[in-house]
Structure 1
Amino acid sequence: MREVEMSEDDENDADLPVVVSTRSQTPSTTTTQSFSSSPPDQVLENVIENVLCFLTSRHDRNSVSLVCKSWYRAESLTRFDLFIGNCYSISPQRAIQRFGRLRSLTLKGKPRFADFSLVPPNWGAHFTPWLVAMSDGCPWLEKIYLKRMSITDEDLNVIAEGFPGLKELVLVCCEGFSTRGLGELVSKCRQLRVLELIEDEVMDADFDWIFCFPDSVTVLESLAFECVDYPINFDALNLLVARSPLLKKLRLNRHVTVGQLRVIMLRVPQLTHLGTGSFNSSDVVSEQDQELDLTSCFASCGNLTCLSGFRDIAPDYLPWIHPVCANLTSLNFSYANINAEQLGSVVCHCHKLQVFWCLDSVCDEGLQALAATCSDLRELRVFPMDAREDSECPVSEVGLLAISQGCPKLRSILYFCQKMTNAVVIAMSKNCPDLVVFRLCIMGRHLPDHLTGEPMDEGFGAIVMNCKKLTRLATSGLLTDRAFSLIGKYGNLVRTLSLAFAGDGDLGLSYVLKGCSNLQKLEIRDSPFGDTALFSGLHHYYNMRFVWMSSCNLTLRGCKLVARRMPQLAVEVIRDVDENDEDGSVEKIYSDVEDENEVVEKFYMYRSLDGHRNDAPNFVSIL
Structure 2
Amino acid sequence: MSAPPSSSPSPAPIPQPAATLAPAGMRGAAAEDSSGSPPSRMSEDDDDGDGAGGGDRWAPDLRGCGNGGGGGGRWAPPDQVLENVLESVLEFLTAARDRNAASLVCRSWYRAEAQTRRELFIGNCYAVSPRRAVERFGGVRAVVLKGKPRFADFSLVPHGWGANVSPWVAALGPAYPRLERICLKRMTVSDDELALIPKSFPLFKELSLVCCDGFTTRGLAVIAEGCRHLRVLDLTEDYFHEEESEVVDWISKFPECSTSLESLVFDCVSVPFNFEALEALVARSPALRRLRVNDHVSIEQLRRLMARAPHLTHLGTGSFRSEPGPGGALSVSELATSFAASRSLVCLSGFLDANAAYLPAIYQVCANLTSLNFSFAGLTDEEFIPVIRHCVNLRTLWVLDTVGDEGLRAVAETCSNLRELRVFPLDATEDSEGSVSDIGLQAISEGCRKLESILYFCQRMTNAAVIAMSENCPDLLVFRLCIMGRHRPDRITGAPMDEGFGAIVMNCKRLTRLSVSGLLTDKAFAYIGGHGKLIKTLSVAFAGNSDMSLQHVFEGCTRLQKLEVRDSPFGDKGLLSGLNYFYNMRFFWMNSCRLTVKGCGDVAQQMPNLVVEVMKENEGEMDTVDKLYLYRSLAGPREDAPSFVNIL
Return the TM-score normalized by structure 2: 0.88
With over 3 angstroms needed to count, the CA separation of the structure-2 counterparts of 1:73 and 1:289, relative to structure 1, is closer
In structure 1, distance between residues paired with 2:148 and 2:106: 34
Give 1:160-171 correspondences, 5 Å limit: 160-171=198-209
* Structure 2 partner of 1:28: none
Q: Which runs of 5+ in 1 are unaligned?
A: 1-13, 20-34, 578-587
Instruction: Give 1:607's match in structure 2, choosing from 619, 632, 635.
Output: 632
* Structure 2 partner of 1:522: 563
Offset of 1:314 from its aligned partner? Answer: 0.3
Offset of 1:140 from its aligned partner? Answer: 1.0
Match status 1:539 vs 2:580: yes
Instruction: Give 2:113's match in structure 1, choosing from 62, 67, 75.
Output: 75
Match status 1:187 vs 2:225: yes
Match status 1:395 vs 2:436: yes
Match status 1:373 vs 2:373: no
Give 1:591-606 correspondences, 5 Å limit: 595=622, 598-606=623-631
Is the 2:295–2:353 Cα contact (8 Å) retained in structure 1? yes
Give 1:143-154 correspondences, 5 Å limit: 143-154=181-192
Q: Which amino acid aligns with 1:39?
A: P
In structure 1, distance between residues paired with 2:300 and 2:630: 51
1:503-538 per-residue CA deviation (whole Å, 9 max, x = no partner) reads 111111111111100000000001010111111111
In structure 1, distance between residues paired with 2:575 and 2:368: 50
Give 1:38-53 correspondences, 5 Å limit: 38-53=76-91
Is the 1:179–1:203 Cα contact (8 Å) retained in structure 2? no
In structure 2, distance between residues paired with 1:563 and 1:515: 23
Is the 2:189–2:213 Cα contact (8 Å) retained in structure 1? yes
In structure 1, distance between residues paired with 2:80 and 2:197: 36
Match status 1:131 vs 2:169: yes
In structure 2, distance between residues paired with 1:68 and 1:394: 57
Give 1:525-604 correspondences, 5 Å limit: 525-576=566-617, 595=622, 598-604=623-629
1:228-283 per-residue CA deviation (whole Å, 9 max, x = no partner) reads 00111001000100110000000000010000000000000100000000000121
Q: Which amino acid aligns with 2:479?
A: F
In structure 2, distance between residues paired with 1:291 and 1:15: 59
In structure 1, distance between residues paired with 2:294 and 2:191: 21
Offset of 1:289 from its aligned partner? Answer: 5.5
Q: Which amino acid aligns with 1:419?
A: R
Match status 1:444 vs 2:444: no
Structure number with bigger Rg = 2
In structure 1, distance between residues paired with 2:82 and 2:620: 56
In structure 1, distance between residues paired with 2:407 and 2:116: 50
Is the 1:15–1:545 Cα contact (8 Å) retained in structure 2? no
Q: SS at the partner of 2:422?
A: strand
In structure 1, distance between residues paired with 2:625 and 2:568: 13
In structure 2, distance between residues paired with 1:498 and 1:439: 8
Q: Which amino acid aligns with 2:331?
A: Q
Q: Which amino acid aligns with 2:579?
A: L
In structure 2, distance between residues paired with 1:558 and 1:360: 41
In structure 1, distance between residues paired with 2:170 and 2:330: 55
Q: Which amino acid aligns with 2:504?
A: I
* Structure 2 partner of 1:415: 456
In structure 2, distance between residues paired with 1:126 and 1:609: 18
Q: CA RMSD in A?
A: 1.7
With over 3 angstroms needed to count, the CA separation of the structure-2 counterparts of 1:41 and 1:344, relative to structure 1, is same
Q: SS at the partner of 2:269?
A: coil
Q: Which amino acid aligns with 2:278?
A: L
Match status 1:158 vs 2:196: yes
* Structure 1 partner of 2:545: 504
Is the 1:15–1:520 Cα contact (8 Å) retained in structure 2? no
1:330-378 per-residue CA deviation (whole Å, 9 max, x = no partner) reads 0000011111122111111111100000011101000001110100000
Offset of 1:203 from its aligned partner? Answer: 3.4
Offset of 1:165 from its aligned partner? Answer: 1.3
Q: SS at the partner of 1:41?
A: helix
1:100-142 per-residue CA deviation (whole Å, 9 max, x = no partner) reads 2110000000001111111111111010000111111011100
Is the 2:616–2:624 Cα contact (8 Å) retained in structure 1? no
Give 1:77-92 correspondences, 5 Å limit: 77-92=115-130
1:546-565 per-residue CA deviation (whole Å, 9 max, x = no partner) reads 00001111110010110011
* Structure 1 partner of 2:510: 469
1:15-34 per-residue CA deviation (whole Å, 9 max, x = no partner) reads 74789xxxxxxxxxxxxxxx
* Structure 2 partner of 1:8: none
1:14-57 per-residue CA deviation (whole Å, 9 max, x = no partner) reads 974789xxxxxxxxxxxxxxx98211110111111011111122
Q: Which runs of 5+ in 2 are unaligned?
A: 1-25, 30-40, 43-72
In structure 2, distance between residues paired with 1:15 and 1:165: 36
Is the 1:284–1:290 Cα contact (8 Å) retained in structure 2? no
Offset of 1:306 from its aligned partner? Answer: 0.2
Match status 1:459 vs 2:484: no
Offset of 1:181 from its aligned partner? Answer: 0.7
Q: SS at the partner of 1:445?
A: coil
Q: Which amino acid aligns with 2:134?
A: I
Instruction: Give 2:362's match in structure 1, choosing from 316, 321, 342.
Output: 321
Q: SS at the partner of 1:554?
A: strand
Give 1:122-271 correspondences, 5 Å limit: 122-204=160-242, 205-271=246-312
* Structure 2 partner of 1:4: none
Give 1:479-498 correspondences, 5 Å limit: 479-498=520-539
* Structure 2 partner of 1:58: 96
Q: SS at the partner of 2:413?
A: helix
Match status 1:340 vs 2:381: yes
Q: SS at the partner of 1:184?
A: helix
In structure 1, distance between residues paired with 2:488 and 2:333: 49
Is the 1:15–1:544 Cα contact (8 Å) retained in structure 2? no
Is the 1:120–1:576 Cα contact (8 Å) retained in structure 2? no
Is the 2:372–2:398 Cα contact (8 Å) retained in structure 1? yes
In structure 2, distance between residues paired with 1:287 and 1:427: 51
Is the 1:363–1:394 Cα contact (8 Å) retained in structure 2? yes
1:130-166 per-residue CA deviation (whole Å, 9 max, x = no partner) reads 0111111011100000000011000011112111211
Q: SS at the partner of 2:331?
A: helix
With over 3 angstroms needed to count, the CA separation of the structure-2 counterparts of 1:520 and 1:15, relative to structure 1, is farther
With over 3 angstroms needed to count, the CA separation of the structure-2 counterparts of 1:510 and 1:527, relative to structure 1, is same
In structure 2, distance between residues paired with 1:571 and 1:391: 36
Give 1:13-32 correspondences, 5 Å limit: 16=28
In structure 2, distance between residues paired with 1:549 and 1:248: 41
In structure 2, distance between residues paired with 1:202 and 1:338: 26
* Structure 1 partner of 2:20: none
Q: SS at the partner of 1:341?
A: helix
* Structure 2 partner of 1:120: 158
Return the TM-score normalized by structure 1: 0.91
1:588-623 per-residue CA deviation (whole Å, 9 max, x = no partner) reads 699xxxx4xx12010000010111111111111111
With over 3 angstroms needed to count, the CA separation of the structure-2 counterparts of 1:52 and 1:36, relative to structure 1, is farther
Offset of 1:284 from its aligned partner? Answer: 6.0
Offset of 1:575 from its aligned partner? Answer: 2.4
Instruction: Give 1:276's match in structure 2, choosing from 317, 322, 340.
Output: 317
With over 3 angstroms needed to count, the CA separation of the structure-2 counterparts of 1:287 and 1:383, relative to structure 1, is farther
Q: Which amino acid aligns with 1:239?
A: A
